[in-house]
Structure 1
Amino acid sequence: MEELRGGYRLLFWVVSVLCGVDLLCMASTWLPGAYTVPQWLVRGLFLSVFPAFAVAFVCGFISGAAAQLTGSRNAGRLRSYVRLLPRALQLAYAGVICLVALGFATGAGTAEDAKADASGYYYTYWDKTADPQHSVRVELTEPAYYEALKADLRISGATSAVLLASSSFLVLASASASAGRIRTAPELL
Structure 2
Amino acid sequence: MGELRGSYRVHFGLALVLCGVELLCMASTWLPGEYTMPKWLVAGLFVAMFPVFVVALIRSFTSGAGAQLMGRNNADRFIRYVLLLPPALKLTYAFIICLAALGLATGAGTAEDVQADSSGYYYTYWDRTAHPQHSARVELTEPEYYEALKSQLRIFSAGPAMFYAFSSFLVLASASATAARARAAPQRSSGSPEQYRWS
TM over 0.5: yes
1:127 aligns with 2:127: yes
Residues 40-75 of structure 1: CA deviation (Å, up to 9, x unaligned): 101111111001001101111110100000123211
User: Any idea what SS the aligned residue of 1:122 has?
Assistant: strand
1:31 aligns with 2:41: no
In 1, the alpha carbon distance for the partners of 2:113 and 2:181 equals 48
Structure 1 residues not aligned, in runs of 5+: none
Residue identity opposite 1:109 in structure 2:
G
- Cα RMSD after superposing both structures: 0.6
Residue identity opposite 2:108 in structure 1:
A
1:50-69 equivalences under 5 Å are 50-69=50-69
Larger radius of gyration: 2
Deviation at 1:118, TM superposition (A): 1.2
Deviation at 1:112, TM superposition (A): 0.4
Partner of 1:90: 90
Could you state the TM-score of these two structures normalised by the residue count of structure 2?
0.94
Residue identity opposite 1:38 in structure 2:
P
Structure 2 residues not aligned, in runs of 5+: 190-199
User: Any idea what SS the aligned residue of 1:126 has?
Assistant: strand
Partner of 2:171: 171
Number of residue pairs aligned between Structure 1 and Structure 2: 189
User: Any idea what SS the aligned residue of 2:29 has?
Assistant: helix
State the 4+ residue runs in structure 1 displaced beyond 2 angstroms: none
Residue identity opposite 1:168 in structure 2:
S
In 1, the alpha carbon distance for the partners of 2:120 and 2:52 equals 38
Residues 82-122 of structure 1: CA deviation (Å, up to 9, x unaligned): 00000000000000110011001100000000001111110
Residue identity opposite 1:34 in structure 2:
E
Residue identity opposite 2:29 in structure 1:
T
Residues 166-185 of structure 1: CA deviation (Å, up to 9, x unaligned): 10000010000000000001
Partner of 1:12: 12
In 1, the alpha carbon distance for the partners of 2:143 and 2:40 equals 21
Identity %: 67
Residue identity opposite 1:180 in structure 2:
A
User: Any idea what SS the aligned residue of 1:137 has?
Assistant: strand
1:109 aligns with 2:115: no
Could you state the TM-score of these two structures normalised by the residue count of structure 1?
0.99
In 2, the alpha carbon distance for the partners of 1:110 and 1:73 equals 38
